[in-house]
Chains A and B, each alone.
Chain A
Amino acid sequence: MKRQFTRRAALLAGLAIATLAGGMAEASAQTIRMWTFLNPAGNAPREKALAEIIANFEKANPGAKVSVEPQVWDQMTPKFLAAAQQGTAPDIVWVITDLLGDAIKSGSLADLNKLFADKWSTERKKDNAGAYWDLCQVDGKQYCMFQSRNYVGLYYRPDLLKEAGIDPDKLTTWPAFIDAAKKLTAKEPAGTVTRYGFGQAWSEAQPDPQIVIPYMLAKQGDLFDAQGRARFATAAGIEGLTLQTEMVTKHEVTPKLVTSWTVDDLYEQFSAGRVAMITGASVRVSTLQARMGKDKVGFMLYPGVDGKPHSPGVMAGWAVGVWSKGKNVDLAGKFVEYMGGAEADKIWVNVGGQTPGLASTPATMPDFIADPANAYLAVAGKGSATAGWLAPIAFSVGGYRQALNKAAQEVVTNGLSPKEALERAERDFNRRNNR
């Protein structure tokens, strides 16, 4: 009986020591929490890239652990703002461009200059320079670094365009684009359309910019005035919305059902071969290529107006920042710096299929960039450099895409004129933003 007791005591003591040792090891490890819409356990190219970057970082920094808490992309930023006010925000957050101004103004993001960028060499700073870097700069402070850079343009099926004798490089005017869309629209003898030339997504749920936006940007330069009030019901806006809606009502190259299609529906329809060209974001090309085949997805810039070869596309992306009041600000900064550094940038491009974030990256992987299947990276890069538009951050612009999509719905389903629909969209946007 006594021996049994001694054995039990020894076992318990052993367990206690093991638990204590485990606890101490855990205490010495530093975990940083990150909110992003990417799930490193997922199979999408960007998710695989993030997983690899995290693994590399953890290997190079023993004791550091990056814990990703995947979020719904369009709710992540407001959720972060609320969590920051309540002291429960993650150490790192990916902020959507539309709400970057709000995030900076709220004081929730730390100055990356102090954390690491001040120590950078001139070459390193030059490597990062550009519109995305500048967008994060307010009053000499650097609040974020962009990841998952995005350029919204047009997807097309190279095989179908080739079959129809259409050269995508020559689609530099809207009339030429409409002609191509008509050629690509296929009908059965009974009249049923089996494939539409051009797909769009006008749902208000998680919308991407549709063609009225590049048209307006090409003609009037911006969508808002200096006070942040919408400038939708302008001559350019009316022409742009007319162009967009006539794809359904006049040219019949777009199905009327696009009034309810979301971007995800649109990608599904494109994957299924129901549409030959669609509006789309460059960041999704790699995902669709993985699904459909690399030779089945091409990416081009919007046609231009007034003799210009291209209309500006909306540039977006994810502004990655460090929570200013987090407990692990230094380590979080270290990870953000690594995630935007040369080694990680190659992974983002190679594994994630993303546009390079650093000017030096393409030169380090010439074969990858030269692969015709990866031509979209150069197209998106060209768009960003020559025709891109980044939403202003001086005021919140959340809801502008929804307002313009609703205007298109109103024209096609309720018979409003483009002018009436845009006046309403403008009024709703301004009222909801208290402007």
Chain B
Amino acid sequence: MRSSNVSAYSYIAPAFALLGLVLFAPVFYGGWYSLQDIRYGAPMGFAGFKNFARLLDEPDMGATLLRTFIHTGFSVVITIAIALGLAVWIDHLAPRFAFLVQIIVIVPWIISTVVAALLFRWVFLNDIGLAAWAARALGFGSFQPLTSPAGAMSLLIAISVWKRVGYAVIILLAGLKSIPDDYNEAARIDGANGWQIFRRITLPLLKTPLLLVAIVLTLSNINTVETPLVTTGGGPGDATRILAIDVYERAFVNFDLGGATAMALLMFAGNIILVVAYVRFTKWKA
């Protein structure tokens, strides 16, 4: 028994070593880097927790966290709500039509994020562009989301929802397909209506895919840098300056690599805490 364990471990050891190198080495390197005094892009000496302390002194840090929370919270909730509705609808469609709808829904997910962000930017960049024309045609008058703080944040959330809803639909649809028809039939025989079936049977049985979707969406929204960078650049003012943009700007605009690494590490820790909290909160069992 023991020798077979040794053989098994020896088989998976190379893969684990490679994974460790690719996944964990950057984290440890980042940890070491964040404790250094970085000048001209290179560590010049041990700085202790100075880089972290500087972050706490930032007067705008609270506002950046709040914006990140708003962006992530609204994006995740709206995406899941729309995806759930779409998944349930697709589940009731004829197979061929359902397949076609799935293809359409998944397209934004497979488009490059930068390309998608650029497309949205071009649409809203000009006051005589496509969006402005559509808004005027619909009687909304002038429509320039990039020039107002609320508009810019709403646009970012809209792009996030558009981009990620396809992924959520596919996962939730897979969850719906795995629910045996017998349960619904039994409920119907017992006199349950559609809403009651959905509320009492479908939703509880979708707990695992919902949790998975929520975790993936939360992490991807917290860590997204391409969409805000390309679409709004964090502006106007600080309106869309979320944590990921702040890390980027520290590193590549102000060249404060020590501060940027410290902040990235804190975000990494935050990501882990969030995942653990989700799993605990929903008492997930695999």
Contacts and interface: CB of A to CB of B under 8 A. Distances in A.
B42 A406 contact: no
Nearest to A196: B127
Contact of B233 (A84, A205, A396): A205
A257 B42 contact: no
Interface residues of B, number: 32
Contact of A410 (B128, B144, B237): B237
Contacts of A432: 250, 254, 256
Contacts of A83: 41
Nearest to B234: A204
Interface string B106-121: 0000000000000000
Contact of A102 (B40, B152, B256): B40
State the majority secondary structure of interface residues on A.
helix
Interface in B238-253: 238-239, 249-250, 252-253
Contacts of A406: 235, 237-238
Contact of B126 (A75, A204, A274): A274
A201 to B, nearest CB: 11
Interface string A261-272: 110010001000
Contacts of A205: 229, 233
B97 to A, nearest CB: 40
Contacts of B236: 259-260, 409-410, 412-414
Contacts of B255: 78, 99, 396, 398
A399 B250 CA distance: 10
A82 B233 contact: no
Interface string A384-408: 0000000000001011001000100
A193 B39 CA distance: 49
B105 interface: no
Nearest to B230: A205
B196 interface: no
Contacts of A399: 253-254
Contacts of B221: none
Interface string A295-314: 00000000000000000000
Contacts of A257: 125-127, 144, 146-147
A433 interface: yes
A6 interface: no
B73 interface: no
Nearest to A80: B41
Interface string B124-142: 0111100000000000000
B232 A260 contact: yes
B42 A413 contact: no
Given A78-B255, A414-B236, A108 B148 contact: no
A78 B128 contact: no
A410 B149 CA distance: 10
Interface in B33-90: 39-42, 58
Interface string A58-86: 00000000000000001100110111111
Nearest to A72: B252
A259 B253 contact: no
Interface string B203-216: 00000000000000
A78 B250 CA distance: 12
Interface residues of A, number: 45
A194 interface: yes
A75 B252 CA distance: 7
B235 A203 contact: yes
Nearest to A407: B237
Nearest to B42: A85
A33 B87 CA distance: 54
A161 B40 CA distance: 47
A255 interface: yes
A192 interface: yes
Given A75-B252, A85-B42, A108-B40, A192 B149 contact: no
A153 to B, nearest CB: 24
A102 B142 CA distance: 46
A260 B147 contact: yes
Contacts of B147: 256-257, 259-260, 412-413
A30 interface: no
Interface string A82-112: 1111100000000000010010011010000
Contact of B125 (A194, A260, A414): A260
A321 to B, nearest CB: 14
B235 A78 contact: no
A413 B240 CA distance: 13
B235 A82 contact: no
A415 to B, nearest CB: 10
Contacts of A396: 255
Contacts of B41: 78-79, 81-85
B234 to A, nearest CB: 6
B11 to A, nearest CB: 36
| Those 6 A-B pairs whose CB atoms lie nearest each other, nearest first | A82-B41, A85-B42, A413-B236, A106-B40, A260-B146, A81-B40
Interface of A: 74-75, 78-79, 81-86, 99, 102, 105-106, 108, 192-194, 203-205, 255-257, 259-262, 265, 269, 274, 396, 398-399, 402, 406, 409-410, 412-414, 416, 431-433
Given A84-B41, A413-B148, A413-B239, 6 more contacts: A75-B252, A259-B146, A409-B237, A413-B149, A413-B237, A431-B58
24 contacts: A74-B252, A78-B255, A82-B257, A83-B41, A84-B40, A102-B40, A105-B40, A106-B39, A192-B128, A203-B233, A203-B235, A204-B249, A204-B253, A255-B127, A259-B236, A260-B146, A260-B147, A260-B236, A261-B125, A269-B126, A274-B128, A396-B255, A413-B147, A413-B235
